[in-house]
Structure 1
Amino acid sequence: MTDDRPLKGKVALVAGASSGIGASIARSLAQAGASVALVARRKEQLAAVEQDVASHEVPAVTLVADLAADGAPKDTVAAAERALGPIDIMVNNAALARTGPIHDTHPRHWRQAFHLNLDVPFLLARAVLPGMRERGHGWIVNISSEGSLLQADWSAPYSITKRALNALTAQIDLENRHLGVRAVAVLPGWVRTDLAQDPETLGVEVRDLLDPADIADVVLWAVTRPPAVSIGPLIPVRPVSRNAQTLVNWEQYLRTLRHYDTSGGHMVDVPGIPE
C-alpha cells in the first residue's frame, strides 16, 4: 500500500512562503504530512498560508522575519526548531529578482541581489546542516531558476546569483550526501506568479506557463526519494510549450522584472551597502 503521507513526522522550513511557489511548496509538504514553519516578511499573507497548512491537520508556525537582516537566518532556524523540533527539510524560496545590463547595474543593487540570493541560502544551510549531519538525514532545497542555465541579455545580476546558488547547492550535496544529507536546486522555467507579468504581451499564453503547484510537486518528489537514490543536484523544470521556452521571450521577460523580492515583495535594504 502506498503511504499518502510520506512526510508524516518530518519538520520542514519554507523560506519565502507567503505566496506563489513558496506557498504552494508549504501546502504540498503539509498535505504529505510534514509540520511546516512558514517564513516571510508579509504577516497577512503568511497567516492565510498557515490556515491552508493547518487544514491538513499538521502543526504549523509562522515566523515573520526579514532574512536579509543580520543574524536572521540563524535566529529563524532556531525559532522554528523550538516550535516544531529539528528541521528535516529546509526549502529556500526567498529571492530578489533584479535584472538589467552590467553597465546599468548599481553596485548597491548588485550586492543586494548577492546578499539575498546567495548569502541567505548559505546562512540557512549553515544553520541546519550540523543537526542534519548529526542525525544522518535531511534535505536542503534551493529554488533557483532556469535563467541560471542561460546566457541571456539583461539577466544580470539575477541569473548570475542563481548560477552561484546552483554551485552552492552542488557543493552542499557533495560534502554531505555520504552522511544521508542531500541538497538539490530546483530550476523553474516560466511560472505563473507575481513575477510573470502580462505574458501575453510577450506572445506567450498564460496556459503555456508552469503553475506554482508544478514546482511544489517536483520538490515533494525530490524529498521523498529513497535514501539510496541519487538525484540532482540540479533539477530543471520547463514548460512543455515552446513559446514559453525560447530565449527571445526569456530576454523580453527579464526586461519586465526590474526588481522583485519573493521574501516580502519589495526591495531589501542590506545594512552596510553604500548608496
Structure 2
Amino acid sequence: MPKLPQRFSLDGRKALVTGASRGLGVTICDVLSAAGADIVAVARSEADMAETRRIVEGHGRQCLTVVADLSDPTVPDAVAKTVTAAWGGVDIVVNNAGVSFPRPLVEQTVEEWDTVQAINLRAPWLLARAFAPGMIERKRGKIVNISSQASSVALIDHGAYVASKAGLNGLTKVMTAEWAAHNIQANAICPTVVWTPMGERVWSVGNKLEKLLEKIPAGRVATPEDVADTVLYLASDASSMVNGQEIFVDGGYTAL
C-alpha cells in the first residue's frame, strides 16, 4: 500500500475547477495545486483569475485559464475542446461555479430560475459529459460536484437554488451508476454556509447568521478550507472506494 502522503498526493494530475476566480474556487485551486495538481481555472473574466494563477504557480504548478460563461449551453464543450487541445484532458473535474438569486418563490422570475439551473445543474452535466470519455479511456477519473446542505433541507427564499442542488445530487448518483465501472468516482459535497465574501454579504444581513448558527451544533459556518480539504480527499486516491455520496460539511446541521 502506498504511504499516507502518496495516497493524498495529486502529483501528475490535472484538475479543472469552475468558478475559479474568487471565494471558494480560489481556495480549491490553492489546495489542489499545493497537493501537486496542475490547474485549469475556469471563470468569466481573465483578469479576475490573476490571483488564482499567482497562487497555483507559487506552488510550482501550471495554471491554464479558460474564460467561459457557463450559462451558455455551448460553452462546456468548447471548454473541453480547449483543454484537450492544450493538455490532452483532465483527471479531476470540480464543478464549483454556482449562482443564487435569493427571492421568495412567488417573486422569483423565470429568467432567474433558468440561469440558476443552467449554471448550477446543466453546466456540471455538460462538463462531466465532455470529459468523461477521456476518463473512461484512461480508466481513471474524479468528479467532485459542489452542492449544498440546501439540497436536503428547505432554505427560505432559495427555491431555485435548492432545486438546482437537489438535482445536482441526483445527477451525481447517475454519474456513479454509469461510470463507476470505469474507475471514475463522482461525489457531491454539501456544505453549510461558507464564509466567503459572497456568503458574508448574504448572511450578514440582520440576524440571519445568528438564526443559522442556532441550528449548527458546531456553532460556526464553514471556512473555504473546510470544503477545499474535502475536495482534496475526494480528488485523491485515498477516496477510491467513495462513490455517489453526498458528503455534508455542515457542522452537524443535518444530523438534528
TM-score, normalization by structure 2 = 0.87
CA RMSD of aligned residues (A): 2.1
Aligned equivalents of 1:14 and 1:228: distance in 2?
A: 20
Are 1:87 and 2:99 matched, yes or no? no
C-alpha distance 133-82 of structure 1, shift in aligned 2 (>3 A): same
Are 1:159 and 2:171 matched, yes or no? no
Partner in structure 2 of residue 132 of structure 1: 135
Deviation (angstroms), 1:89: 0.0
Partner in structure 1 of residue 52 of structure 2: 49
Match of 1:192 among 186, 195, 199: 195
Deviates more, 1:146-155 or 1:203-212: 203-212
TM-score, normalization by structure 1 = 0.81
Partner in structure 2 of residue 211 of structure 1: 223
Letter in structure 1 aligned against 2:221: L
Partner in structure 1 of residue 18 of structure 2: 15
Aligned equivalents of 1:91 and 1:203: distance in 2?
A: 29
Contact 2:34 2:56 (C-alpha < 8 Å) held by counterparts: yes
Q: Deviations over 1:105-146 (max 9, x none)?
A: 111211111111111111101100111111111011111111
Contact 1:142 1:186 (C-alpha < 8 Å) held by counterparts: yes
Deviation (angstroms), 1:102: 2.2
Structure 1: which 5+ runs fail to align?
247-275
Aligned equivalents of 1:220 and 1:66: distance in 2?
A: 25
Q: Paired residues, what number?
A: 242
Partner in structure 1 of residue 250 of structure 2: 238
Partner in structure 1 of residue 65 of structure 2: 62
Contact 1:222 1:231 (C-alpha < 8 Å) held by counterparts: no
Aligned equivalents of 1:190 and 1:179: distance in 2?
A: 34
Letter in structure 1 aligned against 2:82: A
Are 1:183 and 2:186 matched, yes or no? yes
Partner in structure 1 of residue 216 of structure 2: none
Contact 1:65 1:76 (C-alpha < 8 Å) held by counterparts: yes
Stretches (4+) displaced over 4 A: none
Contact 2:14 2:37 (C-alpha < 8 Å) held by counterparts: yes
Deviation (angstroms), 1:189: 0.5
Partner in structure 2 of residue 38 of structure 1: 41
